[in-house]
Structure 1
């Protein structure tokens, strides 16, 4: 099963903007709900999955990280990442 998790920190201004992009993307047809995790509360997972910075949108398949996006340039880029990834492994 393919899931998406958004990693952030509460004090990160870029993370707040990227989260708005994710919020908008979730409302569009063909996308799904994205889980959110404060990386400060999950340091072991961040290390295990080798998350190098935030914001990070992670594609997770059967509990394992498969792909990640760090550059949240705009909403269409976020939507494309989710829809492309969703189509690969549903």
Structure 2
């Protein structure tokens, strides 16, 4: 069962800036630019029939672009052993 989320693509210049922040962190595997995104909603594991319903609903979404600013960085998990690193955003 795939794990799904709704997310937004980041502009290339923001991805480039975020990738420059890389530093040695024990146990961290850095992601590529293609994997950087803004997670809006994490759905978790979704079954086959649920997958089609989510995909169908997503096709109906119509939105315009909007400005965001990167504001701060942090991690999920203990700072000594982070599970995920994140960058915050603000309007």
TM-score if structure 1 supplies the norm length? Answer: 0.30
Larger fraction in helix: 1
Q: Which has the larger radius of gyration?
A: 2
Larger fraction in strand: 2
TM-score if structure 2 supplies the norm length? Answer: 0.30
